[in-house]
Structure 1
Amino acid sequence: MLKGEHAVRRWQQWAGLSLIGLLVLAIYWPGLSGAFIFDDYSTIVENSRLHVATLQPSLIWHAATSFDPGGTFGARPLAMATLAMNHAVGGLNPWGYKLVGLLIHACNTALVWVLINTLLAAPAATVVLKDRTRHGAAFAVALLWAIHPIQVSSVLYVVQRMETLAATFMLAAMICYLRGRLCQIRSGSGWPWLLATVLLTLIGLLSKETAVLVPVYALAMELTVLRFAASNPSVARRWRGLYSVAVIGGLVVFVAVVVPHYWSDHYLARNFGTWERLLTQLRVLPMYLLQIVLPTPGNLTFYYDNVVPSRGMLQPVSTLLGGLLLLGLLATAICTRRRAPLVALGILWFFVSHLLTSNVIALELAFEHRNYLALLGVLLVACDLVLRAPAAARQRVLPAAVLAILVGSAGLTLIRSATWGDPLLLATELVVENPGSARASADLGAMYFGMSDGYANSPFIDMAIGEFERGSQLPGASIISDQGLILTAAQSGRDVPSIWWDRLVSKVQTGTLSPETTGALFSLLENRYKGVALDDRRLAEAFRALFKRTTLPPYSYAQVGDYAMLHAHDEGLADEMFVQAIDNSVADPGYARKVIDALNRKGWHRQAELAHARARDLGLLAEPVAAAPAGAK
């Protein structure tokens, strides 16, 4: 190609990417006016450690480790640091958080375009393509990936910045891997690119653990479009040996370490065990495929808390049918690995994308955002099929069909974005599309209550109570709607029927203890501190029932102990809670010392003595800690 032609082609590519970026911004822009939702509250709104006032590095660093699950990479410090920066600039205005999420998605779209372009340039990827055809195919795939309706809940659901930011580094890592390997295939040295792959993967892990899948994506590319090839035979042998060792080692670690660690007949805080979770994924993965192929509002419901776990291959029968479909897809990938490697890669890509979330880890059964990268696998299959179509069809029929799909997807996504931009419309839509979701019901009830503006006789209070009552009686519903009922009545000055407390306590005693259960109870406690008149006897009863069934971090017990002294006036409960806080501080002796010091400062000397004695018995007091004054009560 002549230099001038090359410059023109490069300009056209940049113009195409700019057009994609503008389209993405325009389609998602109506959704920026939406509110926080679901896990946004626990991760951002209620997470005081994230609420930094300035961009001072020390404050950002502290906030970066404020993600509760924690762990080696589980703290997700890079993603949390960016959320803290958002707070420093705009407080808790959701608009700025959503804008950053949208910009990350636009960046990822450009990376997808580069990745597809690079993939299609691999000698074994597909039929021989002209540059113009390859760039056009990459353009269509990247655009459809960016504006597909299933992506809305990844882009506009703020907390999923962890997913999308990790994807940024994963996509960049895979581009570097492909370029490095193509250099080796074409007689060049690809090691600088491959070293960049490692670095980008490690950075991705700081956003979300999903980045650990980069080597598995790389294996999928080797099995299909790269085929462990290299111009130097010794390099090719080393790649085969490396992947053989990695696969064997990974399987050993999975069977010997991961499965024993996570396997459970009944997960804590879930209504299913490991085997039931794995069976359910045989239905969930085909559901994802349907959502990708047919992304209508009825198929994209955001909340999936009412997905019923599979109890056997025929309970329900769709478990078996889904398993057969997935088995057929894997067989297709094996059979087409040589003849249509891009089809095989697309199928493997989809499965790799769900390797963590559809495995033995005790996660929730389904979420749309888990398809953020998985969608690309389906589009790779479609791309290969289009490129292999007869020339006449590619020139006459397929362009119009592709354009129709792009326009249709853009329209559906624009509508969904606008819905996400209106909190009441979104809450109503989620209930209409999934009336069996207790979470959707609780959102709508809370929206009605917010619209009452605190007026006790507002009709919105009655609407809120009606929706909370409906949601509280849904099969398998947590206490979140019961909590909403109690708070709505108490904050509006109405009587709280004892049946509402009875139902809440009964669910805590016998129901599934999900994170929503503890969150709802502590929300009641926080509202009590804010002056909301609640029945302290029943709230204390609920906490006693909770702590009989589960173990929480030590500060949770200290918080309830404080409440027992200040509001419930139940010193027996306070004694139990502060001693339990010490019991759970074995891994953090410093916290035990803080509890004892705080009790002494508040003058709660009997509780300080009990806590001090327990800490001494557990060997947590390496240095002397002041006990209560002699004779103090």
Structure 2
Amino acid sequence: MASLAGMFYIMGMYFYLIFRTTETGDKKVLFLLLCFVSFGMAFGSKENAAILPLSIFLYEILLLQKITGKNIRKNLNVFFIVTGAILILGFTYIYIQDGNIFSFLNGYEKRPFTLTERLLTGPRIIIFYILLLLYPVPNRLSISHSFQISTSLLDPISTSLSIFLIAGAIGYAIYSARKRPLLSFCILFFFLNHAIESTIFPLELIFEHRNYIPSMLFFVPIVIGFFYLFNYYSAKKPMQYILLSFVLFFVIGLGHSTFMRNFTWKNEKSLWIDAVEKSPDLFRPHHNLGRYYDDNGYKEEAIFEYQKALEKPVTSRKDETFVTYYNLGKIYGELKDYNKALHLYNRAVAINPDFAPIYNNIAGILDREGKHELAYTYLVKAIKLNPNCTEVNYNLGIHYLKDGQPDMAIFH
């Protein structure tokens, strides 16, 4: 989704540039229409593309027009219109999804962090993203990162430092907008496009793919700096050779890192083994590695990883461990250790009482033990939670058939 959104995002900015620079009336209409279509496709791919109109506004102000007091005042109305349109689009989308424009705040009830903690942790994560871009060696890249949650401005101290660095970078971009508009645009573009996924919304804290769109122009200032140095040393060929050698070494290093990273992503097993090695203190890598072993018949290895997962703190949802208990229950059920399976299923129900397959599996164990009426009550609970579940309907059908109710059996 992030890659697709990034592609349409770039297309939208490109079509807007063509719209602004072409003189033919028909072509202007065509490219403006293509810009709107690209925006719709980008937003449909991933919601963080809602920022595209603001990025285009910055592009217009900083790069297509001169930075003057008159231009800024003239475009203030445009800024408020664009910002208002984005807010209306966002709130409309949320309302259609949940029926309440502030319902997204309810998501924090299920997260192991609060809104305040997320806002405090966000700047540290953005600095981490920047460092990943500057130093993307394989041992720093992972599908799952262990990241301490900030509980105050001083815990950890890097929270305040990160806020200071980001505020300083944004302040510098605004201050230098007239003299260095391209540099300012690249800086503001990066932070602006992290605004949705690194601020108030109750999303998971960190994912590397959130850097895709923001990093689109990240290296432009670095390239400009390189050419400045290259021209500065035009009379000193050895220094130019040193600069070229450094760039060549850097590009080769990035290519090698990409090549090595392919070995990590070659299959599900290698991906989650890598994540376990880099973040052994997280729940998710152990759980997902256990699920891989479970799906491929390595039951002992699956049990080991699931149990390891249950020893670790959750980072995504408060209730995510119920799936681990459920999967462990299934394994012990297959191993015919029904008492342990029931114990694990009950642990899962205590965490999430709204997951129909748990009740279905409990019913299956109770039915084997001859407790048919009790099994039936669990099947009824399951069908109420998920009326379209094939397994639950099948098991209810079998129950009604044994109970001499063929019409009910046929219905299910």
TM-score interval (norm. to shorter): 0.7 to 0.9
2:261 equivalent among 413, 416, 424: 416
1:482 equivalent among 320, 325, 331: 325
Distance 1:170 1:252, change over 3 A: closer
Deviation at 1:543, TM superposition (A): 11
Structure 2: how far apart are the matches of 1:282 and 1:526?
45
Correspondence 1:272 to 2:117: no
CA deviation map 1:469-495 (0-9, x unaligned): 111121236223222322222224445
* Equivalence for 1:491: 334
* Equivalence for 2:58: 220
Deviation at 1:449, TM superposition (A): 3.0
1:471 equivalent among 276, 286, 309: 309
Q: Do the aligned partners of 1:486 and 1:496 also contact (CA within 8 Å) in 2? A: no
CA deviation map 1:314-334 (0-9, x unaligned): 333332222112111111211
Aligned ranges 1:346-495 → 2 under 5 Å: 346-391=186-231, 393=233, 395-452=240-297, 460-476=298-314, 478-495=321-338
Structure 2: how far apart are the matches of 1:533 and 1:347?
64
CA deviation map 1:254-302 (0-9, x unaligned): 9999897157477242223333322221222112112212223343221
- Counterpart of 1:448, as a letter, is Y
Distance 1:527 1:570, change over 3 A: closer
- Counterpart of 1:396, as a letter, is Y
Gaps of 5+ in 1: 1-161, 453-459, 510-517, 548-553, 572-598, 609-633
* Equivalence for 2:135: 294
* Equivalence for 1:602: 408
SS of residue matched to 2:313: coil
Structure 2: how far apart are the matches of 1:228 and 1:447?
57
Q: Do the aligned partners of 1:490 and 1:532 also contact (CA within 8 Å) in 2? A: no
* Equivalence for 1:240: 75
Structure 2: how far apart are the matches of 1:368 and 1:383?
23
* Equivalence for 2:20: 181
* Equivalence for 1:578: none
Deviation at 1:396, TM superposition (A): 2.4
* Equivalence for 1:558: 387
1:500 equivalent among 330, 339, 344: 344
TM-score, scaled relative to structure 1: 0.52
Q: Do the aligned partners of 2:282 and 2:313 also contact (CA within 8 Å) in 1? A: no
CA deviation map 1:118-177 (0-9, x unaligned): xxxxxxxxxxxxxxxxxxxxxxxxxxxxxxxxxxxxxxxxxxxx2222222221111111
- Counterpart of 2:211, as a letter, is N
Distance 1:527 1:266, change over 3 A: closer
Deviation at 1:371, TM superposition (A): 1.0
- Counterpart of 1:484, as a letter, is N
Q: Do the aligned partners of 1:333 and 1:347 also contact (CA within 8 Å) in 2? A: yes
Q: Do the aligned partners of 2:322 and 2:351 also contact (CA within 8 Å) in 1? A: yes
Structure 1: how far apart are the matches of 2:267 and 2:349?
34
Q: Do the aligned partners of 1:303 and 1:367 also contact (CA within 8 Å) in 2? A: yes
Structure 2: how far apart are the matches of 1:566 and 1:542?
8
Q: Do the aligned partners of 1:267 and 1:274 also contact (CA within 8 Å) in 2? A: yes
Distance 1:507 1:527, change over 3 A: closer
Structure 1: how far apart are the matches of 2:313 and 2:144?
15
Q: Do the aligned partners of 1:173 and 1:200 also contact (CA within 8 Å) in 2? A: yes
Distance 1:409 1:438, change over 3 A: same
- Counterpart of 2:222, as a letter, is A
CA deviation map 1:38-89 (0-9, x unaligned): xxxxxxxxxxxxxxxxxxxxxxxxxxxxxxxxxxxxxxxxxxxxxxxxxxxx
Structure 1: how far apart are the matches of 2:34 and 2:303?
56
Deviation at 1:559, TM superposition (A): 4.9
Q: Do the aligned partners of 1:427 and 1:443 also contact (CA within 8 Å) in 2? A: yes
Percentage of pairs with the same residue:
22
SS of residue matched to 2:321: coil
Structure 2: how far apart are the matches of 1:408 and 1:542?
58
Distance 1:525 1:411, change over 3 A: farther
Matched residue count: 386
Q: Do the aligned partners of 1:173 and 1:197 also contact (CA within 8 Å) in 2? A: yes
Gaps of 5+ in 2: 95-99, 235-239, 315-319
Structure 1: how far apart are the matches of 2:367 and 2:278?
35
Q: Do the aligned partners of 2:62 and 2:182 also contact (CA within 8 Å) in 1? A: yes
Structure 2: how far apart are the matches of 1:534 and 1:446?
26
